[in-house]
Structures are given as C-alpha cells and as structure tokens.
Structure 1
C-alpha cells in the first residue's frame, strides 16, 4: 500500500499550520452532523463545545483524542485526514469500518487551542488531572472512556523541537510510548498489546523516515491520562508529533502521523500483533533533549575585554500576536554545547559577533546580529 499517495488523496486542505482552533475545525465537524457521526458531549471551562466524532460498526473499539494540550495541533490535522479516509468509500475504508468502531475527540481543550497554551483556561494541565478530575474537559474524557469501554486508546500529542533520537543527530519526528501501568514499569498483557502495536508502526515508518522515530520515557505517573488508562487495563499508545527538517508548520509531520494511524489499524485488522515484540520496541532509541533550533559555531566574542571563540544557540518561542502565530528566535545559551545539535547550524569560522544591543549573545535577546559585518542574521536566519 502506498501510504504517501493515500495521504495525498485524503489530506484535509482546509486546515494547516500550527494554530488550529475550534473555529478552524467546526465547519468540518458540522459536515458530519447530518449523518449523526458528530455530537456535542460537553463544554470547556469557557463554555466552548467539545465535539465527538464516531464512525464504524466493528467489534474492536478505538478511542482517540487530540489537543488535550491546546498548542499541540499536528495530530488534530492528521485525525481529520484519517476521518476523510473513513468517508471516501474505498475498500480500505469499508474494511476499517467493518472491523472497528472509532470514537474520537478531535479537540479536547478548545480554550487552550484559542489561547495557544498547553493548559486549559484554568491554567491546568489536563494531562496531570486524570485522578483528581478537577476540570470539565478531564471529566468528559474520563466519562467517555467509562461509557465507550475502548479496546485501545490513542493519546495524541506534539513534542517540542528539542527532542532528538538518542544522540544520532536526527530529530525525533515521531515518538511513541506504551505507558507504564505501575511504578516498576512491568509489562503485562495489556501493555504488551500497545508495545506490539508500536513495534509494528515503527517497522512501517522506518521506510519513510529512517532513524527519526523515538521512544518516550516510560516513568510512571498515575496523574497522566495514558498511565491511568493503561493501569485500568486498556492498551494505550502515546503519539508525540515532533520536528521534521524545515517543517515548523508540521505539515510533513502530519503526514507521518496519518501513516501511523492507518498502519496501526491495518495491523490490528489483520490481527498481526499476536507475538511478543518487546525487544523490537525497546530497540527504538529513546528521546533525548539534544536539539536547538539554531546553533552558531566558532564565533568570536568579546568577553570581559578578551576575545574568545565559542558557540551559542537560539530557540524559537511560539508567540500568538493578534491571532497570528509568530516564531521568534531568542538566544538561550552560550558555551561549548558539546553533544548538542542545531536544526540550523552555521560555522562562523572565527568571525566577530556584533549586534545593536550589547555586542554579546545575551540570554533572552532576540537573535538579530551580524558576523564581521558581512553576514547578517535576522530572527536567527541569514538575511538575504
């Protein structure tokens, strides 16, 4: 199966970029009201509707939710791409709808999505509220879980550009986790099902983004929703959509999330998760914090009256200004930075750093500077 072609055929072109709000997706959801596939299942802190989308009549029940963190929108886009596949009338769509019943919450945290924040409107991280259930969004997620009684859960997130695959110098474009169900991080029958499925997804993705798949840390935290659902005996998969080269809008990454979803359901429908693939799962390298967005090497800097050669790095801060998302690069560290990488790297070869501020790459300063007054950088990038 050509997953690339399948994505191109089903991509939802009305949503793109990183700033995806309820206003972005409501027209798509309302298309399906007439079929009774879409329902309003509750409200956010600020009274915004929280929608569910249900499709299929198969015995195997799949529960998916996205944008639990409002500023993590890549998987929301991929989820709508997948919904398009379910509605395209193809043989694959018919096979999936006969095998599965899909229940998804495309945007659990619409308030956070509009504000472009991780937390909800009460500044609560919903992924730390699975036990206390203090927030309306958390209560909706848990009540739906209890009522729907899924066979598998898909917990869909984004991760920052700082993550790489171990120390390989490759970005973690996608990372997965079969969450632990206890402090000892043991593997029981339920967790093994998630492990086996992730190993299968990894086999597929390695053909498209070799070496760019990571494994998320499995430290147990019962306050996290994935750990809670795994503890309750339902195989749960954490998806973390990460960085692909020059893809800050995460349009390439959404494709790989779509491929992951399709692959997982094909594997399950073909009952191809019966063996023990724990070794293959553990062979997926762990996520590691090894990246900055910009790295400048061998830069000459005046430091306390002395000229030294050093390195410094800058990182994008995603800032919502007038309902438009801006990527603003700020200097974050100066030093040897051994073992770290930049998504963009520049070797200054001893050129002198200068700027319009203090002529020193100061932490928290916008990354506007020049080298020997010959190469000029604006917002981290070379000015053309």
Structure 2
C-alpha cells in the first residue's frame, strides 16, 4: 500500500510539473494585444534617454487637454525647476508613482509618457483602459529631480542623494515627495529607478534587465500585509516580463535602510515596489527596457484593478534570482599574454565607461581592461574564447586625412586583419575623443601606448593565432574578424 501511494504521489508530481512546463505564464489577452501595439503608444517626443525638464514639460499639456490628467506643482527643485504631480483615474485604490529621483535614471520616465498616451487614447483597447481608470486613482511624479536630469547626474544640486533623504528631508525634492505621500495616503507606491547595467540575474550570463524589490520596513525584514501586497504585485509583473525577456528579472537586496523612501513608505503602510531598469544586450539607449517598463506597469495596474495579484504565493518571490555584479561588457577567456617576460594564460574583463557629451544630451564610450586573472562565475555581454590566441599590440597605419575619410567599413576591417587598429594622419593632427561610426581609432602618437595587457589600459588590442588576427577588441568592443564589417558606436582619438 505504501509503495502504491509513493508511486501515486510521484506520478502526481511529474504530471503537475509537466503541466506547469507546458503552460508557462501568460499575459491577459488585453495586455498581450497592447504589447503588440506598443509602437502606437510610444511617445515620439522622447528621442533618447537624456530627457531634460524643459523637454518633458511640453509633453504634458496634450494629456491635460484630453482630460486624462490634472496637473499641480508640488514644489521646486534647488534650481527652481517645477516638480509636478499628475493625477489620472477616479477609482478607490490610490497608486503613487515617482520617477527620476536620481537624475540620470530616466527609463521609467520614458515609459510613463508611453503610458499616458495609452490611457488617453480612444481605440479598441478601451476595456482595459476603463478598468484601470475606473478602479484606480493614479498619481504620477514623472521627474522628481529635474536638476539632476539637467546635469545628467544621480544627486540633486545640493549633492544629496534624494533617495537617502527620507529621514532628514534636507532636499526640497524629498520634502515635496513626502508631503504628497502624506496628503494622498496611497495604498500602493512605485519607486522607479535605473541600476548598473553590469548586474546579472543571479550568477548567470543573463543581465538583470528589470530588478524588483518589496522593501523591508524594519531591520528584521518582517513580512506584514502591506509588504506582502507589494510582493504579490511584483510576482504578477514578473510573470508578464518572463514572457518577453525570460531569465532577465532579478530581485534587489532587501536590507532595511531608514534613509530610503521605499523603506520609509513601506513603514507608512504604503505597499511600495522598487523597479530598477538595468541592461539588455545591444540596448544602450534602453528603448526595449522602456517597453518592458510599460508592460510591467500595465500588468500591475490590471492586477491591482482586478485584485488578481492576491492569488500570488509570496513563496515564489524567493525563486527570483538576486542581483549579482558578475557581468563585463566583454569577457575574454583563456588568452595568452606576456608580462614582465613571462607568458601565461589568463582571463580579461573589459568594461566601457560612459563619457557624457558637453551638453549632457548624449553618451560615448571608452573601453578599458577592468580585471586580469583567474575569475569564476563571471560573464560578458560579449564573450571571446581565446584558447590558443595571444594578446597582441596593434599597429598604426599612416595615411592622409582624405584617405581616412574615404575608408569604407570593409576597408577598415581589412586593415584590422593586417594588424592595424590606429590611423595617424600624415598631413596634420587628428581629433581626440569619441569618433562615431568607425572601426579604427585615430592617434597623434607615433607608437601604440598599449603594448601589454594591464588593468586600466585602454582596451585596444588584437587576439592572434600564429601572428594572424582572429579577433580584435576595439575601444572595449568585440570585433569578430570572420564576420562582415559593422561599425561601432564609437572608437577613439588619442
């Protein structure tokens, strides 16, 4: 009898597990349809992630005119820029969302304006739109730190991190948010941020494209009904995101910090959800991540309006991998290098630092070697298995400015195959800094400064077999010399 019961329960487990594998999480038909039509809601006035206060404000009046939102100024930044509160919907459940508390974290801000376009549209997606607006009262602060956005920096103009100011309330921006929360007393809050794109979902190659957190409200990290609701809403969003970007969701560390707004609001009985937008392969402007934010928020609004999140089992939250700092832009494995007269095999981790333009409206990149040595459980957005390949300094090709300007991408690739990564003009000095849409660098030097691999060195080198280049690393970008020529976001002039 015991044997029969054991067999029965094993069969039940296998059947249930198989059913779960065969029936992965699905979005509602309404959400899935809107995902497919996202481009018609994407705000065309937002061209890239470097949106400033002066560029955001003209996007609001059309939503006021359509009677989707009402707008009020709830404060001014240190520099006197307005901090605005937009209200939409007429439901009983109050939801407050604030974005760009850190000025250089704008992904969710872009998604909020896409959401405004959806909510103000008049089309065949009206059923979900009405469900949201009839059941929720939505309160948005789309740019809490306009001075930080202007300078494209994390902190405000007092050099204070607003998200560490919930207790002392030194900043006018932090005071404005706290006063709004106390006045509204929302049931649910969304704290919208960006995080380092080098975080992974667990110790894996998968980037942590979206990370969630239901913040703790005390040091023991107790789970009460308020925090439980935040956790259940996260689980609803996670299921939706897994259908579009499987494996790219993580959860943030939940250590309690009484200085932070999320932790503080959780203690004020506001079910608060942190959303961190990280990185995604070949998405430096975060436009796909913007779309994922739109999906996550739309799913959350539907789940809150229907109370469907209440079906989620918070034990599933433990299954979401934690953020890990285990990614490089490029990870080179098993490369043979020579240093101090010694030849040995090792690994190289390469990262591209971001260099702001003078007007804080664009970004270029400068690649450097970040780590050298044996490494475990680290990965790269791009990886090179350099087994049998040698780290080889590149050569400098001399030509005129006119000859440089006439080079095609294929001709540049052919020069790399001959061992060149730099061009020196013979008839005058060349520009320094970022050079857009090329494969070769420029230099005013007579000798390549990168002669051996070293931490902090510019990531400009060849990987060769028997003296013949197989791969190149150009300004921190992987170039596979067996593939067709493709220009890079930028090379560099020295």
Write the distance in 1 (CA, Å) between the matches of 2:474 and 2:157. 34
Counterpart residue number, 1:219: 255
Q: Which has the higher contact order (CA 8 A, sep 6+)?
A: 1
Residue number in structure 2 paired with 1:9: 40
Pair member with larger Rg: 2
- Spell out, residue by residue over 1:15-47, the C-alpha distance to the aligned partner (whole angstroms, 9 max, x if none): 143322213312202333444622322211111
d(CA) in 1 for partners of 2:285, 2:262: 26
CA gap 1:30/1:360 in 2 versus in 1, 3 angstroms: farther
1:5 and 1:72 map into 2 onto residues whose CA distance is 26
Q: 1:102-121 alignment to 2 at 5 Å? A: 102-121=138-157
- Aligned counterparts of 2:386 and 2:290: Cα–Cα separation in 1: 34
The 1-side partners of 2:369 and 2:218 are apart by: 40
Q: Alignment partner of 1:32: what SS?
A: helix
- In the alignment, which residue of structure 2 is the partner of 1:362? 454
**Structure-to-structure mapping, 1:288-303, within 5 angstroms:** 288-303=324-339
Correspondence 1:151 to 2:182 = no
1:71 matches 2:74: no
- The whole-number CA distance in structure 2 between the counterparts of 1:272 and 1:134 is 39
Paired with 1:161 and 1:361, the residues of 2 have a C-alpha distance of 25
1:62 corresponds in structure 2 to 95
Is the counterpart of residue 200 in structure 1 residue 231 in structure 2? no
Contact 2:204/2:378 (8 A) holds in 1? no
Residues 330, 478 of structure 2: 8 Å contact kept:
no
- Does structure 1 conserve the Cα–Cα contact (< 8 Å) formed by 2:63 and 2:120? no
Are the structure 2 counterparts of residues 314 and 24 from structure 1 closer, same or farther at C-alpha, using a change threshold of 3 Å?
Answer: farther
- Alignment equivalent of 1:341, drawn from 362, 379, 388: 379
Question: Of 310, 313, 321, which residue of structure 1 is paired with 2:357?
Answer: 321
Q: What is the alpha-carbon distance in structure 2 between the residues aligned to residue 263 and residue 194 of structure 1?
A: 14
Q: Secondary structure of 1:191's match?
A: helix
SS of the aligned residue for 2:459 comes to coil
Are 2:76 and 1:37 aligned? Answer: no
Structure 1 residues 293-302 or 210-219, which shifts more? 293-302
Shift of the alpha carbon at 1:141? 0.7
> 2: distance between equivalents of 1:230 and 1:304?
56
1:34-183 equivalences under 5 Å are: 34=65, 35=67, 37-89=70-122, 90-183=126-219
The 1:352–1:264 alpha-carbon spacing in structure 2 relative to 1, beyond 3 Å, is same
Q: SS at the partner of 1:352?
A: strand
State the superposition RMSD in angstroms: 1.7
Q: Is the 8 A contact 2:49 2:110 kept in 1?
A: no
State the SS of the aligned residue for 2:60: helix
CA contact (8 A) 1:290 1:339 kept: yes
Please tell me whether the aligned partners of residues 166 and 264 of structure 2 are also in contact (alpha carbons under 8 angstroms). yes
What TM-score do the two structures reach when normalised by structure 2?
0.75
In structure 2, distance between residues paired with 1:214 and 1:19: 25
Distance 1:352 1:358 in 2: 11
Deviates more, 1:303-312 or 1:373-382: 373-382
CA apart distance, 1:369: 2.1
Q: Does 1:353 align with 2:445?
A: no
Q: Deviations over 1:135-159 (max 9, x none)?
A: 0110111011111111100000111
Q: Give the conservation status (yes or no) of the 8 Å contact 2:131–2:302.
A: no
TM-score by length of 1: 0.95
Contact 1:30 1:38 in 2 (8 A): no
Asked if the contact 2:105/2:194 (under 8 Å) is kept, the reply is yes
Where in structure 1 are there 5+ consecutive unaligned residues? Answer: none
1:367 Cα deviation after fit: 1.9
Per the TM alignment, residue 370 of structure 1 is displaced from its structure 2 partner at its CA by 2.2
